[in-house]
Amino acid sequence: MTKHLIIIFLFFSISHLQARDNIIFYIEKALENNLQLNAERKNKKSIKQNINISRSEFLPSLSVSGSQTSSQSTKRTNQSGTSLSDSNRDSETKTISIDQKIFQGFKGYNDLKKSELEFKQADYKLLKAEKKTILDTVFAYFDLIFKSQNEKFNLLNVNLYERQVESDSARLQKGEITLTDLAQSESSLAKASANLIKAKSELLSSKTNFERTTNEKTPDISELKNQVDLDLPKNLKEAITIAKLKNLDLLISKLDYQISQKELNIEKAKLSPSASINYSKSENKDFSSTIDELEQETVKATITWPIIKGGENISSIKRSKLSTQRSLLLAQDSENKVITSTTNAWSKYQSSKSVLKATEAQLKAAEIANEGITLEYDSGNTRTTLEVIQSTSLLLDARISFAQAERDFINSKFELAFKIGTLSLNSITSL
């Protein structure tokens, strides 16, 4: 039994460790720990209570009141000999009252629908915050990988130039090269060292951003997987169609318009008649001398119809109409913005795909060229120090460009998914 438990424990431990090397793990942590996201979750719960408050308007209200009175009066004789008299009075009153609204000009109905729309909007805002957290985590994760590669390439470049300076110093002693050749190598080494310092600083900033985004310590970057897959539309037309249905900014904007319509209806309802019914039962006891009891039941129906309130209600309706018109225009503008942003994201995705292919070809050519020039230089052929330096510099640029293109291509895929509204944890596959 103990052996089986150990095996199970080791299995889950290994699985957990393996999980930490992919993007899914850190997205889950970010979704769990992000402070802004947790604030949106609290806001959603708070807004949900407005629905319960609106529903309460349809339910009867019950109130209970009671009072107890005790009084004493004394009448004394005057100089003419009038007799003294005392009077005591104690009484107790209890009242129970039930009020039920019968009709409010549909104010209660529109209040409830408005609260439901606001809750739905809060849900969309939470969902948007979750998607933004996923996007930020992806950007931080792959930027961390790129900045680590950038540091590695620059460190490799420094090592290469150090060997170049060492080799050129020996060749200078043999008279194979000039002092100028050595100076070129030393200058390139100084530049490479400066670039390495910059790369280290950028990596540190990337680590800080990663930890802030995920609330996790920076892992062993060399173990991180940089392969990920994401479902995307096949063409721009499909992307725009999806965006019109799922883009959260657009959905939130449309809800703004619907909410403004309900607010207009509420203002109109304030000019409509309202009716309510009240039932009350009271009990009064007088303990002055003998106990007198009085019970009274009352049923009262009330109809109220506001006619004019100094023009306030009319002005409120006009203001709500203008607000509704404004919300409609903003919703229409939001749809135009969604189309534009989707088109731009699609263009960026296609462009980054092309750049990735180009930089890959550039890297292969630079590797072949550098290897050949270095071998020819080492064999004492006609290749100069300057040619070696230029070749090495081109190779470094090609490596960095390819690594950056990989990051930008991945980022463009996730940005497109975010713009059209399909980005979610379930849509991501770590390879």
What is the distance between the alpha carbons of residues 349 and 355, in angstroms, rounded to a whole number?
10
| Residue 14 placed within a domain | no
Q: Is 267 helix (H, G, I), strand (E, B) or coil?
A: helix
| Residue 9 placed within a domain | no
Q: Which domain holds residue 116?
A: 23-68+93-423
Identify the burial level of 385 via C-beta atoms within 10 angstroms of its C-beta, where 0-12 means exposed, 13-18 middle and 19 or more buried.
Answer: buried
Q: What is the dihedral of CA 395, 401, 406, 409, to 10 degrees?
A: -150
Sign of the alpha-carbon torsion through 113, 116, 120, 125: positive
| Residue 5 placed within a domain | no
Identify residue 285 by its one-letter amino acid code: K
Mean pLDDT by 10 residues, the chain (431 residues): 44 45 91 87 89 78 69 58 59 78 79 92 94 96 96 93 89 87 91 96 97 92 87 96 96 96 88 80 68 71 73 83 94 96 97 97 95 85 81 92 96 97 90 61
| Residue 73 placed within a domain | no
Identify residue 190 by its one-letter amino acid code: A
Give helix then strand counts, H and E, for the chain: 9, 6
Residue 92: per-residue pLDDT: 75
First to last CA, the chain: 35
| Residue 408 placed within a domain | yes
| Residue 217 placed within a domain | yes
| Residue 266 placed within a domain | yes
Number of domains in the chain: 1
In this prediction the pTM is 0.80
Identify the burial level of 92 via C-beta atoms within 10 angstroms of its C-beta, where 0-12 means exposed, 13-18 middle and 19 or more buried.
Answer: middle
| Residue 176 placed within a domain | yes
CATH number of the domain within which 117 lies = 1.20.1600.10
Residue 272: per-residue pLDDT: 80
Say if CB 255 and CB 60 are below 8 A apart: no
* Other residues' Cβ atoms within 10 Å of the Cβ of residue 422: 20
